[in-house]
Amino acid sequence: MALCINPICPRPENSEDGSVCEACSSDLLLNDRYRVTNVLHQREDRVTTLYDVVDEKDQDTPKVLKVLYTKNQDTISRFDREADLLKNYRIEGLPTVGKDGYFPIEFPNNPIPAHCLVMEKIPGLNLEQWLKQHGAIDERRAIDWLKQLTTVLERLHSNNFIHRDIKPSNIMYRNSDNRIFLIDLGAVRLINQNIDEQTTTTIGSFPYMAPEQYKGKADFKSDFYALGRTFVHLLTNKNPSQIEQDTQEKLLWLTESTPVSDRFATLIDSLLERKPDKRPKNTTDILKRIQVIEDKVNSQENSRSIFQKVVLGVMVLGVLVALRFVLCNGRGL
């Protein structure tokens, strides 16, 4: 089946080999190569929709199509930034987009055009879906995922981009190789070094947004705050808005969390600081602290493994000695 993506089409389902929609005459082979087969996700306001597509020139590579339906220039500008980042910067840990993967299309009898972005399809679950299936993560997985996400942020920030909308539903987990990907770059912004002078439109998701972001003053450290709140969600399986706060508006998340070390809890709390200057200085600082925690956990696990092996060895030796004693007594020796 081929789907027509004209939002006012009365019958979007078409035969898979058609080139023009039978109901509204819209093109079915977008940009002369992409055929839509399925709706993956649609926002309630229908401004953006995500589709499965088949690339007629590369049928072995699964791809998705993100379509923006609007005339709002601010929204189109954000979509342009997302496309520019994915097409031209090729940052590992973000979806890839081909050179001709971003294009506009127009529909018959519909004044609202569509802007299309074709990306690689990352198989797996986003972390909101993952939580629903598996529950809260443990410290070992949290360390691994935080390290991966911070590394992606390091690449993003080194190119002077901030994400501005980090949350579980914007992070994909690929089970085949345990890799993490940061998706939905619709809120991404390119910033210069005069961060303090910049005021931008407030954008993001309420339970994860840094206080300064509400004032249009998002910077690199705003992503750290969202990262901290994301991991509170992952460790507790509770939206941060559902967790109690003290009088200083500090999240009391540890009582809700799976067991974590004091050092890891301190790192998460540092990401959650309401004042940006109290958060880690940069991604390098976070990664160094993660490495210390990871080394400590590995050392403890190695010590535990050695202890268990020694105990097992003693038990086996004890059994052998007891067995020899029984056999010797049985022979009257």
**Which tokens belong to 143?**
């360390």
Q: Is 66 helix (H, G, I), strand (E, B) or coil?
A: strand
Question: How far from chain centre, in Å, is Cα 117?
Answer: 19
Do the Cβ atoms of 121 and 60 come closer than 8 Å? no
Question: How far from chain centre, in Å, is Cα 194?
Answer: 28
Out of 27, 55, 165, 219, pick the active-site residue: 165
Do the Cβ atoms of 200 and 218 come closer than 8 Å? yes
Do the Cβ atoms of 65 and 118 come closer than 8 Å? yes
Do the Cβ atoms of 238 and 199 come closer than 8 Å? no
Annotation says 165 is catalytic: yes
Q: Which of 210, 220, 226 is nearest to 127 (CA)?
A: 226
**Which tokens belong to 147?**
């390290």
Strand partners, 39: 51
C-alpha to C-alpha distance for 203 and 200, rounded to whole angstroms: 9
Which parts of the chain are beta strand (E)?
2-3, 13-14, 29-30, 34-42, 48-55, 63-69, 102-107, 110-120, 125-126, 161-162, 171-174, 179-182, 189-190
Do the Cβ atoms of 143 and 261 come closer than 8 Å? no
**Residue 115 main-chain phi, psi, to 5 deg:** -110, 125
Strand partners, 161: 190
Residue holding tokens 């407030």? 202
- Encode 40-61: b = buried (16+ Cβ within 10 Å), e = exposed: eeeeeeeebbbbbbbbeeeeee
Catalytically active residues, by annotation: 165
